[in-house]
Amino acid sequence: MTGMEKNKRILTVKDLTRYIKQMLEADDLLQNVWVQGEISNFTHHSSGHMYFTLKDNSSRVKCIMFSSYNQRLAFMPKEGTKVLACGNVSVYERDGQYQFYVTKMQPDGIGSLYLAYEQLKKKLEQEGLFDTARKRDIPRFPKAVGVVTSPTGAAVRDIMTTLQRRFPSVPVLLYPVSVQGKHAAPSIVKAIEQMNVLQEVDVMIVGRGGGSLEELWAFNEEIVARSIYASDIPIISAVGHETDFTIADFVADLRAATPTAAAELAVPHQDELKQQLQQLHRRVQLGLQQQVRRKKDHLHSLMRSPYFLYPRQQLLQSAESLDRMKDRLVHQMKQQTGKQKEKLLRMEHKLTTNSPHEQLRDAKKKVETANHQLKQAMHAILRNHQQRFLGMTKQLDALSPLKVMQRGYSLVYTEQQTLLKSVKHAQPGDIVKIRLSDGSLDCQVWSIKENEGGSSWEKNQ
Amino acid sequence: MGEESISFEKAMERLDKIVTELEHGDVPLEQAIELFQEGMKLSKLCGEKLEQVEQKIEVLIESEGEWKKKDFQPPVE
């Protein structure tokens, strides 16, 4: 391993074969490819599978066609048959050999047309030319039918007679074209275009009678398909071939198996329409009758209303109900006044039972008692004060200086009526007033003797 | 709508609608009569269109760059 690059791998034969197989199978082209060649080494195995080789001048390839596919083959392959085979390429692992797995096969020649058909079909389908969503509706009652086909032959006759039989009143406009050969496709294209320019018809039948693939080929041409697709007028294709579809069939708005069928699809049947019309006609008449009957019924039911039938009774009823109401009113009034009266009586009674006489008497008594108490209290206070007053007068009396004077003391006043308390405040000759308990003496100071060592009442005497 | 110009298809459609209305709707009487009259007219018109039995089959012929119509007789075997 050393010395080798890391990304290099050694494969087994099996791995290699499988890898190659995967490579081949991943290739889109190889999974659906047409191959042209000559058959050799053909074996139809008892299992039903076909084994053969396709070869040309320079190369060969091994082929297998499984029984599930070869059962549908329209021809029997033989040694030397030139064919077109469709299928996918893969590897048969056991032998390490690549093989062509055939699913479809056509003899060459006509086969090349078939291949072209398949390829065009696939292409247009992918482009959306076959989408059912874009298909136009065929008018139920066309004003005029356009026919694009050969003016000779069975097809045009079938179409015309069928149109005539079903709906003879519809105009038909035939655009004669050639329907086979080199000029067929361009002439069909031109006809479709011209019909769209003229705008006289609102549905078109494009077709021809049955034939081989080559004879029908114009209806597999791309230009025809595209002009059908481009047409504003809806197109019914009518290529007389029950089983196989042409490209035109796929693009057309409606496909008919035969020209006769196309004509049947293009117009309704006159007799059916007549029947339908008769029915509608009858129903219109019945409908009106029904409407009238409905209105009549309604009117009758309205007229049956008691207001119309017995108008007097309606009034009487009103009168009656008025009376009844009056009665009720009076009754109610009476009841109301009665109730009120009763209420009043009850209240009067309550009032009398709850009169304030008693309270008045009680209150008076209370007032008297209070008065009495007040007076007594006042007396007590008065007496109390009197006693205090007397006591105080006695006290006062006891303290009075007059009492002292009664015991022999007297008071000396100056002429200025001031009390003379010291000899120092008197001068000999001063007039003084001496107050005694029972009167006063006006005196004059003769002399003054001052006590030594302080005042002494006896010495001053 | 001018009855002459109305297409058969439109006429049938309208007639069908009138019938439905008369049969199922509660239509005022005046309108019902109008619908009825219109329905009868349409019915007659459609009938006439259906009775036009002679079919006009024409074929387009190009001559000198112009397209002309000629009566066409289908080939008979």
> What pLDDT digit, counting tens, does each position of A168-212 carry?
888 899 999 999 888 899 999 999 999 999 999 999 999 998 887
Nearest CA in chain B to A141: B9
User: Shortest Cα distance from A138 to chain B (angstroms)?
Assistant: 12
Would you say A34 and A115 are in contact if contact means Cβ atoms under 8 Å apart? yes
Which pLDDT band, with edges at 50, 70 and 90, does A51 fall under?
A: very high
Distance CA A246, CA A239 (A): 8
Q: What is the rounded average pLDDT for all residues in chain A?
A: 87
| C-alpha count within 13 angstroms, C-beta hemisphere, residue B43 | 21
How far, CA to CA in Å, does A188 sit from each of A211, A252, A365, B15? 17, 14, 143, 39
What's residue A110's pLDDT? 64
pLDDT at residue A107 greater than cutoff 90: no
Q: Which residues in chain A have Cβ-Cβ distances shorter than 8 Å to B19?
A: 280, 283-284, 287
Mean pLDDT over A377-398 rounds to 88
Select from B27, B53, B58 the Cβ nearest to the Cβ of A291. Answer: B27
Which pLDDT band, with edges at 50, 70 and 90, does B54 fall under?
A: low
Q: With CB atoms and an 8 Å threshold, state whether B36 touches A277.
A: no
Would you say B29 and A288 are in contact if contact means Cβ atoms under 8 Å apart? no
Residue-wise pLDDT for A329-341, tens only, equals: 999 999 988 899 9
Q: Which residues in chain A have Cβ-Cβ distances shorter than 8 Å to B7?
A: 141, 143
pLDDT at residue B4 greater than cutoff 60: no
Nearest CA in chain B to A292: B29
Residues 6+ apart with CB under 8 A from A138: A203, A234, A236, A253, A254, A265, A266
Q: CB of B45 within 8 Å of any CB in chain A?
A: no
Mean pLDDT over A421-439 rounds to 86
DSSP string, B4-46: TTS-HHHHHHHHHHHHHHHHHS---HHHHHHHHHHHHHHHHHH
How far, CA to CA in Å, does A176 sit from each of A110, A156, A208, A219? 28, 9, 11, 15
What's residue B1's pLDDT? 45
What's residue A37's pLDDT? 92
Mean pLDDT over A211-235 rounds to 90
Q: Which residues in chain A have Cβ-Cβ distances shorter than 8 Å to B40?
A: 281, 284
What's residue A235's pLDDT? 96
What's residue B2's pLDDT? 47
Tell how strand A439-444 and strand A33-44 pair up. unpaired
User: What is the 3-state secondary structure of chain A?
Assistant: CCCCCCCCCCCCHHHHHHHHHHHHHCCHHHHCEEEEEEEEEEEECCCCCEEEEEECCCCEEEEEECHHHHCCCCCCCCCCCEEEEEEEEEEECCCCEEEEEEEEEEECCHHHHHHHHHHHHHHHHHHCCCCHHHCCCCCCCCCCEEEEECCCCHHHHHHHHHHHHHCCCCCEEEEECCCCCCCHHHHHHHHHHHHHHHCCCCEEEEEECCCCCCCCHHHHCHHHHHHHHHCCCCEEEEECCCCCCCHHHHHCCEEECCHHHHHHHHCCCHHHHHHHHHHHHHHHHHHHHHHHHHHHHHHHHHHCCHHHHCHHHHHHHHHHHHHHHHHHHHHHHHHHHHHHHHHHHHHHHHHHHCCCHHHHHHHHHHHHHHHHHHHHHHHHHHHHHHHHHHHHHHHHHHHCHHHHHHCCCCEEECCCCCECCCHHHCCCCCEEEEEECCEEEEEECCCCCCCCCCCCHHHHC
What's residue A421's pLDDT? 85
pLDDT at residue A40 greater than cutoff 70: yes
Mean pLDDT over A20-31 rounds to 92
Would you say B75 and A152 are in contact if contact means Cβ atoms under 8 Å apart? yes
The more confident residue out of A313 and A110 is A313
User: Shortest Cα distance from B63 to chain A (angstroms)?
Assistant: 13
Tokens at A284, concatenated: 């219109």
Tally of residues, chain B: 77
Would you say A274 and A281 are in contact if contact means Cβ atoms under 8 Å apart? no
Give the residue from A283, A203, A273, A272 showing the smallest Cα distance to A238. Answer: A203
User: Shortest Cα distance from B3 to chain A (angstroms)?
Assistant: 15
Which residues partner with B59 through β-bridges?
Answer: A174, B70
pTM, 2 dp: 0.50
User: Shortest Cα distance from B58 to chain A (angstroms)?
Assistant: 5
Nearest CA in chain B to A149: B59
Would you say A437 and A405 are in contact if contact means Cβ atoms under 8 Å apart? yes
Residue B59 DSSP code: E
What's residue A456's pLDDT? 46
Give the residue from A250, A242, A258 showing the smallest Cα distance to A219. Answer: A250
pLDDT at residue A112 greater than cutoff 80: no
Which pLDDT band, with edges at 50, 70 and 90, does A370 fall under?
A: very high
Name every residue in A having a CB less than 8 A away from some CB of B: 139-141, 143, 151-154, 156-157, 160-161, 163-164, 168-176, 194, 198, 270, 273-274, 276-277, 280-281, 283-288, 290-292, 294-295
Buried b / exposed e over B47-61, threshold 16 CB at 10 Å, is eebbeeeeeebbbbe
Mean pLDDT over A106-128 rounds to 81
Which residues partner with A106 through β-bridges?
Answer: A84
Mean pLDDT over A43-63 rounds to 93
Would you say A162 and A263 are in contact if contact means Cβ atoms under 8 Å apart? yes
Select from A141, A154, A280 the Cβ nearest to the Cβ of B9. Answer: A141
Instruction: Provide the percentage of residues in chain A whose pLDDT is more than 70.
Output: 95
The more confident residue out of B2 and A57 is A57
Would you say A143 and B7 are in contact if contact means Cβ atoms under 8 Å apart? yes
What's residue A13's pLDDT? 93
pLDDT at residue A459 greater than cutoff 60: no
Q: CB of B33 within 8 Å of any CB in chain A?
A: yes
Burial grade of A218 (CB within 10 A; 0-12, 13-18, 19 or more): buried
Select from B18, B51, B76 the Cβ nearest to the Cβ of A284. Answer: B18
Residue-wise pLDDT for A59-95, tens only, equals: 999 999 999 998 877 677 888 888 889 999 999 999 9
- The answer to whether the complex's ipTM is over 0.95 is no
Distance CA A402, CA A141 (A): 166
Residue-wise pLDDT for A267-298, tens only, equals: 988 888 888 889 999 998 888 888 888 888 88
